[in-house]
Amino acid sequence: MEVILGTIVPVYAVIAVGFWLGAVPSIQPRTLADLALWVTSPALLFSLLSGTTLDAARFTTLGLGTVAVVVGTAVLALVYVRASRVGRGFLLPAIFFNGGNMGLACSRLAFGPEGLEAAAIPFVTIALFSSFFGIWIAKGENGLAEALRLPLLYGAAGGLLLALADIELPAMVMEPIRMLGAMAVPLMLLNLGVQLRTLVVSDIAHSGVAVAVRMGGGFACAWVFVEMAGVTGVDRGVLLLMGVMPAAVINAVIAERYGTDPSLVASSIVLGTLVSLVAIPLVLLAV
């Protein structure tokens, strides 16, 4: 119970501060999101991955586990879209989970530095999927060109290249990158709180199904993968935790920007975040 409370309380305390900040007119969620997207998140990925002793087997396992969750929930979501004829925006919150502001924070608090290191791999994987396929789903044409503008890809690639080449940059270069990266998780949690204050639940039926696919289906896919692949220890816990994460707030930004069922997407994020108050502790109890 101490571990569960030690994981949940800090995360939702920072989210609550963000929710309070949402009432301040001068606090713009778009600015916080841009800082996280363009500066702190790429710095975090670069510093985490460049400082990692790269274990190819571990990287492959965590990456494939994340892909299994994404593909599994995508299949479930597509079946529902075709059966109900709901808009394609349904796919965004059903597939692309919050591996950043909640996934990284919960993994670090639950499993320590090793958990944060492990969680960086699902975070990179889902960020790449979301930045490419999420934009492609919402925008359609020219989605790839927009995805290539985002620095997440380059931060991750740069860190991986340094790790593979076993190159260590001078401290005066790495220290400011680490400082910026250390801001990423709290900044993303604050942004989530600010965003939640402005999101309104309006499409309960489809939103409920999106949450069920994202969290229930995601956990089921993660569990099947770790059982079949024999994943144990921290990696197992991180994958199961990532599987039950709610939809990422970035989905609402993408849906709003391209006019792809923004109300449905926003409602799914709000409901999923509320459900996670119960779902995350249950998963931590199980692992």
- pLDDT on residue 101: 73
What average pLDDT score do residues 210-238 get?
96
Token pair for residue 167?
């190159």
Terminus-to-terminus CA distance in the chain, angstroms?
12
Question: What are φ and ψ of residue 247, in 5° steps?
Answer: -65, 145
Task: Give residue-wise pLDDT tens across range 82-106.
Answer: 999 898 899 999 999 988 778 888 8
Task: Give residue-wise pLDDT tens across range 100-143.
Answer: 778 888 898 889 989 988 998 898 888 778 777 887 787 766 66
pLDDT: which is higher, 141 or 231: 231
The domains found in the chain, sorted by start residue, are: 2-21+28-282 (1.20.1530.20)
CA triple 69-108-222, angle to 5 deg: 15
pTM of the model: 0.80
- Is 96:247 a contact under the CB 8 Å cutoff? yes
Picking from 130, 125, 123, 124, the residue whose alpha carbon sits closest to that of residue 146 is 130
Name residue 287's amino acid. Answer: V
Beta-bridge mates of residue 97: 247
Task: Give residue-wise pLDDT tens across range 27-67.
Answer: 877 788 778 778 888 898 888 778 776 678 888 999 999 99
At 247, is the secondary structure helix, strand, or coil?
Answer: strand
Task: Measure the CA–CA gap between 36 and 186, rounded to whole angstroms.
Answer: 10
Task: Give residue-wise pLDDT tens across range 254-279.
Answer: 787 677 888 788 889 888 988 998 99
Eight-class DSSP state of 143:
H
- Is 29:194 a contact under the CB 8 Å cutoff? yes
Name residue 95's amino acid. Answer: I
Question: What are φ and ψ of residue 259, in 5° steps?
Answer: 65, 40
Picking from 244, 237, 240, the residue whose alpha carbon sits closest to that of residue 272 is 244
Task: Measure the CA–CA gap between 161 and 165, rounded to whole angstroms.
Answer: 6
